[in-house]
Amino acid sequence: MTTTLQLNHASLRCDLAPALGGSMAGLWLDDVPVLRSTPGPALQQVSEAASYPLVPFSNRIGHAAFSWAGRRHTLLPNGAPEPHAIHGIGWQRPWTVLQADARQAHIAYDHQADAAWPFDFTAEQVFELSDQGMALRMTLSNQSEMPMPAGLGFHPNFVKRRGSHLRFTAGGRWEMDASKLPTHRVTATGLDTDCAELDINHCFDGWTGDVELRDALLRIRVRSTLQRLVVFTNPTRDFVAIEPVSHVNNALQLTETTGASAEALGVIVLQPGASMSAHMHIYIEHQP
C-alpha cells in the first residue's frame, strides 16, 4: 500500500504519493476526476499516476547517452522496451515530505550522482489547492561542482471523456521518427481539436503558456511559465497528457545533429549552486 498525503480545499481533493516518484495519485472536483485518478493508497506504479515530475530533463535522451563539456555520458535506459532514458529520474525515486497541511504540501528529492544521472542536484515540489484549482511549483538546483545541463517539466494526465476538446496556440512542432525521437521542426499553430480520434506524441515550441481542455463535465485551463508543450494521446488511451516542459525532446542530442545551441533548444546551463524554477496552474470549473 502506498503511503499518501491528502489535500482538501472546498470541492477539490488531491492525493499525493511522495514516496512513489513524487507523484500525484489523483485530483478530483467533487467526485469528478480531473486527472486520471487513483485513490492514493491504491496507486501501485508511477506510470498510472495522475501526474509526476520531469526532472532533471523531460521526455527522452536518445539511446541513453549524451555529450556535455567534452565528455560522453552513458545513462541507464529506464523505459523498457525503449532503449532511451525517459522523463528524467525524479519520477522513479522517493521524495521526502518537508511540510504539509490541509491544502498544501512541500516535498523534495536529493540526488547524488549515479549511473542514472552524473550530476548532484536537489529538486523540490510545492502543491497547493485554492478556490480556482491547483498550483504546482518545481525547483531544480545544481549541487555539483561543474555546470549541469538542466530541464524540468510536469506530466499531468487529464481524463479524456466524451466530447473532450483541446485548444492551444504554438509556433512550431517537432516531428518524430519511429523510435519516438524528434527529427526536425515544422511550423505549426497549435491544436484546436476533439480528442477522441487524436493520435499525437509531439513537442510544440513557441507555446503561449495556456491550454484549454473542456468536455461535458469540466472546463480546465492549464497555464505555465514554460514555453514548450508535449501532448500525448491516441484513440486507445483514456487520458490526454498535456506536459509543460522547458526544452525540446532529446535536446541534448539535437545540439549535435542540428547544430543548434543547447540554450536555443531550451536546455538551461545551471552553474554550481544555481537554480531554476517552473510553475503550472490547473484551473478547474464545472461546465454550466
| Model pLDDT for residues 192-219, shown as the tens digit of each residue | 999 999 999 999 999 999 999 999 999 9
Question: Which parts of the chain have pLDDT scores under 50?
Answer: none
Within 8 A by CB and 6+ apart from 61, the residues are 75, 84, 85, 86, 250, 252, 253
Is 170 a domain residue? Answer: no
Is 194 a domain residue? Answer: no
Dig out the grid coordinates for 187 from the structure: 511550423
CA 2 centroid distance within chain: 21
For 113, the domain range is 5-159+243-286
Per the structure, the count of domains in the chain is 1
Is 279 a domain residue? Answer: yes
Sequential DSSP letters for 87-144: SBSGGGS--EEEEE-SSEEEEEEEE---SS-SS-EEEEEEEEE-SSEEEEEEEEEE-S
Dig out the grid coordinates for 142 from the structure: 545544481
Looking up residue 84, the CATH number of its domain turns out to be: 2.70.98.10
CA 59 centroid distance within chain: 8
φ, ψ dihedrals at 112, nearest 5°: -105, 135
Residue 203 pLDDT: 98
For residues 133 and 281, is the Cβ–Cβ distance under 8 A? Answer: yes
Is 210 a domain residue? Answer: no
Is 62 a domain residue? Answer: yes
C-alpha 117/C-alpha 156 separation (Å) is 23
Residue 260 pLDDT: 86
Is 186 a domain residue? Answer: no
C-alpha 107/C-alpha 116 separation (Å) is 21
C-alpha 65/C-alpha 208 separation (Å) is 31
Within 8 A by CB and 6+ apart from 106, the residues are 97, 98, 99, 100, 124, 125, 126
Is 169 a domain residue? Answer: no
Q: How far is CA 151 from CA 77, 88, 179, in A?
A: 18, 9, 22
Q: How far is CA 64 from CA 67, 112, 120, 216, 252, in A?
A: 11, 18, 18, 41, 11
Is 183 a domain residue? Answer: no
* Amino acid present at 237: R
Residue 257 pLDDT: 83
Q: The whole model's pTM is what?
A: 0.96
